[in-house]
Chain A
Amino acid sequence: MSKLRTGSTWRARIRTAEDGLATGLAVLSTVLVVAPLVAIFVYLIYKGASSLNLAFFTQIPKPEGQEGGGMANAIVGSGVLLALASAIGVPIGIGGGIFLAEFGRGSKLANAVRFTADVLNGVPSIVMGVAIYALVVTPAMPFSAISGGLALGIMMIPTVTRTTEEMLLMVPHAVREAALALGVPNWRSVLSITVKTASPGIITGCMLAFARVAGETAPLIFTAFGNSNWSVALNQPISALPLEIYRYAISPYDDQHRQAWAAALVLVVLIVTAVSLVRYVASRGVLKGAS
């Protein structure tokens, strides 16, 4: 049995060295990417965990100067704002994505919509806040949860739309044809077949958008404004974790700095939990093949 010819051993050694170098660089890049994330998380835990107590989760902020109190209202407030944002951003975003991928392909309207979404994506979040301030807060109602939810919702739309469009386009044409050949009307085929097939990707897109707006602070300054009392009324100013983190972090009181760290930790944990939960529920649903 003859050996495979592979060239001289000198060349072989160089190839092995190149291989090792490339692997090493890849590992190094991974470490460089993951390290800051891990570092932040660890630091958050270090600085904030000690301040987590029952009071933090159940009480509202104490008046300025006093120690103690919590961010219960901010946690709930963030939840309300994100629920509002999702209620606005997800349906409009998915609807837009479906339009771009399935019904408007090639039309001038579709190109305009796509362009608008891309531009909207690039608008700085503080500008968004100011815009909603001018359009909704000033004329219609003063600082409120609705305006905050609106700002965040609009910011979700471009991400959801573009991701939905991309995922729908990835559904093989053969699947669409199969549905059409059965005499299924086009709209039904899009919703029940194409969208369903692309749903894992669409859900990921919504998750991305959600995670992004969950941490936005600047738009909330001009819209939700913040509230040191319990309030879940939609037409009233409402508290939110990012807002409280901002305000407490720049305050002169150590106790509030402490609470700001705790709030930061809580915010990150809540986002990760929400995303994981949705992923889990979605994957269960897809495998079951609900019709």
Chain B
Amino acid sequence: MGVGIEVTNLNAWYGANHTLQDINLNIPANHATALIGPSGCGKSTFVRCLNRMHETNPIARVTGTVRIGDLDIYTDAKPVEIRRRVGMVFQRPNPFPTMSIYDNVAAGLKLNGYSNHRVLDEIVERSLKDSALWEEVKDDLKKKSGASLSGGQQQRLCIARALAVDPEVLLMDEPASALDPVSTSKIEDLIFQLKSQYTIVIVTHNMQQAARVAEKTGFFLNGRMVEFDSTHKIFTNPSDKRTEDYITGRFG
């Protein structure tokens, strides 16, 4: 089951660059929330603050509070623990090139010490079914490498890999932007199904995609969150003129 995310006064820096300013928002549990905004507005940085990937950069700095469920992720736990509860799927599919499909999905578990083969088999199968890839790969699990799949399949493999560690939150940073329309549709249908079990946050440049999959949408601009509301409202009658300018393409 997913949990809600509560962000309070989040500020983030890359060196001297104040990338995120005073972000406050509540992401509801078991819903998909979309984050939109022009390039460089901070939405990717924001998402990376939710699983503490932001700080893998040595010049990165964060202040403020992020509560996932009842856990303050910056004071109550270590980054490694948080990342097991908050999964991430990246823009370009990045399966581990030296591993088979099976090993890719099981990687998060194996590398953290799990070795019971029966349990791993079950988890791999369940994860691949949850990410709508099982039927296409079930005969080649250990024979084919993760990198031999098509782009859309690779991305679903990455989703399966993220789901295998049973996170509560799934962060998706433009998951379909490198994919063709058919694969994109498959990923979107997937998000729809996954919503009931996980809390999903999806960063996207594609506003129609945000409109299709997310109940709530947040508009980021220059490091601030300008508006956060139901997707319906944002796309039919937004409150802030800047939001409207962005979504009608009248920017700049």
> A residues bordering B, Cβ < 8 Å?
106, 172, 174-175, 177-185, 188-189, 192-193, 196-197, 199, 286, 289, 291
Residues of chain B from 72 to 107 with CB closer than 8 A to chain A in the complex: 80-85, 87-88, 90, 92, 94-100, 103, 107
Known contacts being A183-B80, A184-B111, is A178 close to B96, with CB within 8 Å? yes
Residue of B88, B98, B110 touching A289 (CB-CB under 8 A): B98
Interface residues on chain B, size class: 20 to 34
Known contacts being A182-B161, A182-B162, A182-B165, is A177 close to B107, with CB within 8 Å? no
- CB neighbours of B80 from chain A (8 A): 183-185
Known contacts being A174-B90, A189-B111, A289-B103, is A180 close to B96, with CB within 8 Å? no
Q: Check B99 against A289 for contact (C-beta < 8 Å).
A: yes
- CB neighbours of B158 from chain A (8 A): 178
Q: What are the 4 closest A-B residue pairs judged by CB atoms, nearest first?
A: A183-B84, A183-B83, A182-B108, A181-B88
Q: Check B99 against A175 for contact (C-beta < 8 Å).
A: no
Interface residue? B116 (CB, 8 A): no
Q: Check A177 against B90 for contact (C-beta < 8 Å).
A: yes
Residues of chain B from 129 to 144 with CB closer than 8 A to chain A in the complex: 142
- CB neighbours of A289 from chain B (8 A): 98-100, 103, 142, 145
Residues of chain B from 3 to 40 with CB closer than 8 A to chain A in the complex: none
Using a Cβ cutoff of 8 Å, how many contacts connect chains A and B?
A: 77
Q: Check A184 against B112 for contact (C-beta < 8 Å).
A: yes
Beta-carbon nearest neighbor of B110 in chain A: A291
Apart from A184-B108, A185-B80, A289-B142, what are 11 other A-B pairs with CB-CB below 8 Å?
A: A106-B58, A178-B161, A179-B96, A179-B111, A182-B165, A183-B80, A188-B112, A193-B107, A197-B96, A291-B103, A291-B110
- CB neighbours of B108 from chain A (8 A): 182-184
Q: Return A172 CB to nearest CB of chain B, in Å.
A: 7
Q: Return A189 CB to nearest CB of chain B, in Å.
A: 7
Known contacts being A181-B83, A181-B88, is A188 close to B94, with CB within 8 Å? no
Alpha-carbon distance A172/B96, docked complex (angstroms): 10
Alpha-carbon distance A180/B111, docked complex (angstroms): 11
Interface residue? B53 (CB, 8 A): yes
**A/B interface sample: 23 pairs, CB < 8 A:** A106-B58, A174-B90, A174-B92, A177-B90, A178-B94, A178-B96, A180-B56, A180-B83, A181-B53, A181-B90, A181-B162, A182-B83, A182-B87, A182-B165, A184-B80, A184-B107, A193-B111, A197-B97, A197-B98, A289-B98, A289-B100, A289-B103, A291-B110
Interface residue? B51 (CB, 8 A): yes
